[in-house]
Structure 1
Amino acid sequence: MADDEGKSVTGTGGTNRWKRFWERGGWWRALILVVGYFVLYQGAGLALAPIAPSIDDTESAGYVLFFVALPIFIGGVILVLFALSVGWLRELFGPQPIRGRGWMWIAVAVVLLFNVLRFATVDYAELDFGYVAAWLLAGLCIGFAEEVLTRGYVVNLMRKAGHPEIAVALVSAALFSVLHASNLLTGQSLFATLLQLLYTFAFGICMYLTLRVTGNLIWPILLHASTDPSIFLQGTHHVDGPLATIAGFGNIPVILVGLLAIIFIRGRVTTDTDAATVVGGPTPAYDR
């Protein structure tokens, strides 16, 4: 495969210990950040628990807003505050230092296709407009928080440590997947959770590919934002028919594409330390 073009990312800089600590990057710093986010996110959910008795209709807009959207919205705010504290906000949402190959559009197409199919086969006549709107808002909150955390921070931390892109993709997808193991705490069966972990890992690879091929974090955020609402709405309220049946099997192609894509992921983003050894400036990202 031909070389991917890229540019260097900031190495160990910063004006204080906090910034310098995170600028060094690495998988274990990514793990610390994900665990910290998980604790704060779960804490936000527990803080809202006293409201539960007053909102017992799981198919009401209020329930979705308070117990799905609001906790992860708080998580998103925490992530933005963290970005401001280390000065990464522009870095996260700026152009990617390494771009993808044309084949990576397959991941975007597969996820988008089945999201559209699911939305197209939702039985909107059975649903309240407010409930649908609440799920769309919740999806945006989920897409923002989970993508900023895993395809934003984790990817950035891995690249700052100089890891090749295959490691970047695997670690970001793995940490994204592990976050969903928390569903065991809500009573979900072990078998269902294991299947979900497989799906979310493959989906995480697809979101990484989306980040690479589009060159900006906003696109995996939006693609992810359309995924969760389509799954929940179509899964509980759909119009019976061939399209609904096809849409119901959408997780399988995502898993296949995500797992197969791992074989072809190449590239590496150089750090400023690496670039300093090269005459003429930073070296580009390259296939390995």
Structure 2
Amino acid sequence: MSSEHRTSSPRWRVTPSVPVAAVVFVVYVVVVVGLMKASGVGYEHFFDSADSTLRSAVLPLGAGAVWLTAFLVWARWDHVFRDARRLPTGWFLWLLPAVMVVIAILHLVGLEWDRFSPGHVLAVLAASVLVGYTEETLFRGVVLRSLRQGTRSEGMAVLWTTLWFGGFHLTNLLLDEPGAVLQVAFAALTGTGLYLARRGTGTIVAAMALHGLWDFSSFLVGVHEPDGGAATAANLIVPLVYVLAGVTLVVLVVRERRRPAREAITA
């Protein structure tokens, strides 16, 4: 019996695979999107107030977090939250996450904070933290871990994770959000930066933090559009993120086409 079989077989209740990840994904969508729809709050008004944020985002995402956590505790998958190996991440691959942080900070600096109540800000913060936890656990966690099984290259694992994350935003059509089609492309591209945050640090916590920060600034800006130098600078840089993300994704897919995605199994 191989050492890999001896160390991995007793650990997993179910082997990481794309079909299993698909089931986890479908249940997550049914739970979260179903509760968002049942909240009665229109997608464009999710973050208008503390009450709407709690009903339409915090509670559904909290239920999604419970589902994902329960699955991982039961499944006992390894390397979901921390990589088994550190992949090389040069300065160019750090550039995209760094620019995303700068844009988020500029948006937050430019906000007129007196237009928000403390309760409203805390509710949006809670929603952002939950988005970071749930979507990163699902995509840069469960999905990426599943795609790293088998004979795929790391480049293909990154590409399919990115496309899956982008496609997930089509579910916003169920919430009567006509802009969901555009969100697919934008989310897929920003997902590249989230992958790089995990890759560069070796832990998914970095991707969760970046995701939460990005969405926290985006949600607040969507409620009260800032008007000032910081906001203007952020808006000018935003297109750079998507261009840089597209270039970076191509570089990753090409450069990593021969690197096996399968992670080493540790005892």
Give the alignment's TM-score, normalised by structure 1.
0.79
CA distance in structure 2 between the partners assigned to 1:235 and 1:32 by the alignment: 32
* 1:70 to 1:255, Cα distance in 2 relative to 1, 3 A: same
Contact 1:144 1:221 survives alignment (8 Å): yes
State yes or no: 1:87 paired with 2:76.
Answer: yes
Deviation for aligned residue 1:39: 1.5
Deviation for aligned residue 1:151: 0.1
Contact 1:114 1:250 survives alignment (8 Å): yes
State yes or no: 1:101 paired with 2:123.
Answer: no
SS at match of 1:160: coil
Deviation for aligned residue 1:30: 3.0
CA distance in structure 1 between the partners assigned to 2:37 and 2:104 by the alignment: 31
- The share of aligned pairs that are identical, in percent, is 26
Larger mean CA deviation between 56-65 and 209-218 belongs to 56-65
SS at match of 1:19: coil
Report which of the two structures shows the higher radius of gyration computed on alpha carbons: 1
Corresponding pairs, count: 256
- The AA in structure 1 aligned to 2:261 is V
State yes or no: 1:32 paired with 2:19.
Answer: no
* 1:154 to 1:38, Cα distance in 2 relative to 1, 3 A: same
Map 1:1-288; keep pairs closer than 5 Å.
13-15=8-10, 19-20=13-14, 22-23=15-16, 25-26=17-18, 28-46=19-37, 48-49=39-40, 59-88=48-77, 91-102=79-90, 103-189=92-178, 192-265=179-252, 266=256, 267-270=259-262
* 1:57 to 1:269, Cα distance in 2 relative to 1, 3 A: closer
CA distance in structure 1 between the partners assigned to 2:63 and 2:227 by the alignment: 37
Deviation for aligned residue 1:196: 1.1
Contact 2:81 2:205 survives alignment (8 Å): yes
* 1:179 to 1:9, Cα distance in 2 relative to 1, 3 A: farther
* 1:178 to 1:9, Cα distance in 2 relative to 1, 3 A: farther
Give ranges in structure 1 of 5+ residues lacking alignment. 1-7, 276-280, 282-288
Q: Deviations over 1:184-240 (max 9, x none)?
A: 222222xx2222111000011111111111110000001101111201212332442
SS at match of 1:167: helix
Give the alignment's TM-score, normalised by structure 2.
0.85
CA distance in structure 1 between the partners assigned to 2:137 and 2:238 by the alignment: 23
Give ranges in structure 2 of 5+ residues lacking alignment. none
* 1:184 to 1:86, Cα distance in 2 relative to 1, 3 A: same
* 1:126 to 1:225, Cα distance in 2 relative to 1, 3 A: same
SS at match of 1:94: coil
* 1:11 to 1:65, Cα distance in 2 relative to 1, 3 A: farther
- The AA in structure 2 aligned to 1:74 is A
Deviation for aligned residue 1:86: 0.9
